[in-house]
Structure 1
Amino acid sequence: MFVFDHKIRVRYAETDQMGYVYYGNYAAFYEVARTEMLRQTGISYKELEEMGVMLPVIELHTKYFQPARYDDLITIRTTIRERPGVRIKFEYEVFNEQGELLNTGMTQLVFVDMQKNRPCKSPQIFQDKMEVYFRE
């Protein structure tokens, strides 16, 4: 299992008229945390694309408990519980500075060969970098 925490300060532009983070912005928060998590493994989205592999989102779920507000420093905890294959599933928990759970979510992405435009296994270099988190 791989767990990664990433902090983001909520910007004014990310809030609605009530002063809460607009619900659609949570997907963007997930993307930032997911991208930084992958970078932490030693391989970035950009490098995967340079290898001819893209990772489109094929599923998104989110559940809201409490709002985040302007200028809150939120933590997005991203977890990969299962060894990636053709698909990779990310789970998210969003916390405020007091440690209160604000939001949970999940995205599932699929590795796609850019030349064939077909699903494929994750590149071997990516599998090697993820191996350390999934040893039994």
Structure 2
Amino acid sequence: MKSHQTYVKVRYAETDQMGVVHHGNYAQYLEMARIDWLEELGVSYGSMEKDGIMLPVYVMSFKFLQPAHFEDTLRIETKLMELPRVKIGFEYTIYNQNEQLITTASTVLVFMDSITKRPVRCPQFLLEKLKD
């Protein structure tokens, strides 16, 4: 399946008193990586929302192996788990600038109609992009 690399530099505000990235920031890192993954395919998340498709998170899990610190440059590898239907799943591996694996994660999101708030099938244009 398609994978993509995203780079994030840890900001001071993302760390706690110990100089470690607070776990709550990792959800934002994953969101940045997913949006970057979509853009690499030529799909704008903003355009999908304008077209009435939302992607709320259904499941999110993390395994924190080592801490990230202020000024670390993180490499987030985002990989599609399988071709999406109503749900789309991603696996992530996060490495620091020394290529040490620091975190693994996964998310499952649901394609949802923004008006009815009901699940819908993955848009055909996205499936076509994934087949290229």
TM-score range, shorter chain: over 0.9
> How far apart are residue 94 of structure 1 and its match?
0.5
Structure 1 residue 63 and structure 2 residue 41: aligned?
no
Equivalent residue for 2:36?
A: 36
> How far apart are residue 22 of structure 1 and its match?
0.5
How far apart are the structure 2 equivalents of 1:117 and 1:130?
25
How far apart are the structure 1 equivalents of 2:130 and 2:85?
11
Equivalent residue for 1:84?
A: 84
Letter matched to residue 130 of structure 2: M
Equivalent residue for 2:110?
A: 110
TM-score by length of 1: 0.94
Q: C-alpha root-mean-square deviation of aligned residues, in Å?
A: 0.8
What's the % identity of the aligned pairs?
42
How far apart are the structure 2 equivalents of 1:12 and 1:72?
10
Equivalent residue for 1:129?
A: 129
How far apart are the structure 2 equivalents of 1:15 and 1:71?
10
Structure 2 residue ranges without an equivalent (≥5): none
Q: Deviations over 1:23-43 (max 9, x none)?
A: 111111001011111111101
Structure 1 residue ranges without an equivalent (≥5): none
Following TM superposition, the consecutive aligned residue runs of length 4 or more in structure 1 with deviations greater than 3 angstroms are none
3-state SS of 1:76 partner: strand
How far apart are the structure 2 equivalents of 1:7 and 1:114?
30
TM-score by length of 2: 0.97
Equivalent residue for 1:51?
A: 51
